[in-house]
Amino acid sequence: MRRRSVTLLGLAGLLALPLTVLPQAQAADGLVSGGKAVTASSVETSAFGPGLAVDGNTATRWASAEGVDPQWIRIDLGANHTISRVKLDWEAAYGKAYRIQTSTDGTNWTDVYSTTAGDGATDDLTVSGSGRYVRMYGTGRGTPYGYSLWEFEVYGAPTGTGGGGGGPAVPFGSHLKPYAAGILKPSGTQSALDQKVVDYYNRWKAAFVRQNCGNGWYQVISPDADHPYVAEAQGYGMVVTATMAGADPDAKKIFDGLVKWKIDHPSSVNPNLLAAEQDTACKSVNGGDGATDGDMDVAYGLLLADRQWGSTGTYNYKDLALKHIAAIKKDEVNATTKLLKLGDWSSSGDQYYYITRTSDWMADHFRAFRAASGDTTWDAVRNAHQTQISRLQSTYASGTGLLPDFVVDTDTTPRPAPGQVLEDPNDGAYWWNACRTPWRIGDDAVTSGDATSLAAARKVNGWIKTKTGGDPNKIAVGYKLNGTQISSGSEAAFFAPFAVAAMTDPGSQAWLDALWSKMLATPIDTSSYFSASIQLQVMITASGNHWVP
């Protein structure tokens, strides 16, 4: 890289007319450009790509081709925003004549600022405009080189409040829903964390999101499950796409395709729930009944969508959510114990009626269901599950805090499954279901600050950090509740969830950073929707982007 001449910049500054820069915006609008998709008219070399202008790192930059006008760099905010401030941190190769422009469609542009007397350094501009796209359009270079920006920052707010303005109300990266006090995030700039999530999401989407069998459907494929499509995967997809709105311009389109899939594949037991499994012809199989884990996330995803886009479009998300929540209460909550059943197919008198799966125990979902429905039953349901988490940890895993895949005898004295009760001889161990519990418990802890959830997450975090000596590569595939390793290897489904638990402990910054680095260094497993979807959602939480509708 050639260094630009400082004397050249100084000469340009002397020759330039005074730059008219308005005072810095005083509004509380936040940074909305961090980690967003960026394109440019050109790059000097591949080492100076446009994304480097929104990565939050003032040591990296975008640089255009040299000696050519005009040039531009464009940020896609993912949805319409009001724009109140633009900040340009120029490298020595600056723009003398340039415009700041906004657009709703990326084709038709409106000037919100213009100058022919730029002098480089930092331009902190108060503007008034709106659009999904913001660009710097340079028409006159201040040096013989090109245009180069260390950082291109846009400040504003989404125009949508849930559908009315067309954009998501809580766009990804907006961080409008802060976590509880004292919660950690991985080290690094916020925009850099957000960008890593967007990158992983794009790989996840390419690997697993499909439009098979027509009918306007979108699905998340499950190559590692018993069937090509399972409710759990669709639930993950709905939560993820609603959360990524603002980073993915197709989020609503994908979400609506997933909604259509849900509507067109009703449970045979309760048509307001989702049938658990579909074959290659996209037809429900194995009785077509529902699975609690998938239904929990479908309902939660619909609530997110209602907050993001409102419910006046093609689908009434709120109405669908309330019907789904009521159906979960009717057919997937044990009326006696207030604990979740395995699915709507289990009924009083059968051998599974007093069995529950710990990975379904999503306290933040229960809070959202309570808020949306106004039904205090969900408070009782949440309390019942949190009571069992604490009891199981203290009684059966006092040294580890680990939970078993399945809990039996919930009508008398709930205890870990004594052996295979549904899936595997390790049904009573920390295995392929319970591996998600540090994430599920942690999601409630970081968003609500609830003392019970915090204590449960911190217990398991303290154990795994000590067990591995702070090395995420030593996290095994499965443990007995006493901490004895079951299997060797390294799986994202097992190591990633511990990152959310680590966020709850103020003394675990280095451990959290190590877990984050482990996730970034692990290639996405395109053969496992399970591991990849879990890691993606953990990264969403770890970066500060999980929120409760």
Which residues participate in catalysis according to the annotation?
A: 232, 293
User: CB of 538 within 8 A of CB of 500?
Assistant: yes
- Residue 386 corresponds to which amino acid? Q
Cis peptide upstream of residue 438 (ω within 30 degrees of 0): no
Q: How far apart are CA 534 and CA 539, in angstroms?
A: 9
Q: How many angstroms separate the CA atoms of 473 and 494, rounded?
A: 11
The strands making up 356-357's β-sheet, listed across from edge to edge, are 356-357, 406-408, 415-416
Tokens of 254: 């994908």
Which residue blocks in 117-189 are alpha helix, DSSP H? none
C-beta neighbour count of 104 within 10 angstroms: 16
Residue environment code for 338-362, b if the CB has 16+ CB neighbours within 10 A, otherwise e: bbbbbbbbbeeeeebbbbbbbbbbb
Cβ proximity of 362 and 325 under 8 Å: no
What is the rounded CA–CA span in Å between residue 541 and residue 539? Answer: 5
DSSP codes of every residue in 4-16: PPHHHHHHHHHHS
Calculate the alpha carbon distances from 492 to 20, 195, 230 in Å: 52, 19, 20
CB 103: neighbour CB atoms within 10 A?
A: 18
- In angstroms, rounded to a whole number, what is the distance separating the alpha carbons of residues 64 and 40? 8
Distance of CA 113 to the CA centre of its chain: 34
Angle (CA) 38-42-46 rounded to 5° is 80
The CA-based angle 401-243-281, given to 5 degrees, is: 95
C-alpha 196 chain-centroid distance: 11
Rounded-to-integer distance, Cα 389 and Cα 462, Å: 16
393 alpha-carbon distance from chain centroid: 28
Rounded distance, CA 170 to CA 548, Å? 11
Contacts of 348 (CB under 8 A, 6+ apart): none
Specify which residues 135 forms β-bridges with.
74, 101
Report which of 170, 101, 13 is spatially closest to residue 549, judged by C-alpha positions: 170
C-alpha span between 358 and 360 (Å, rounded): 5
| Distance of alpha carbon 444 from alpha carbon 410, whole angstroms | 23
Burial grade of 469 (CB within 10 A; 0-12, 13-18, 19 or more): exposed
Q: Say how far apart CA 311 and CA 320 lie, in whole Å.
A: 10
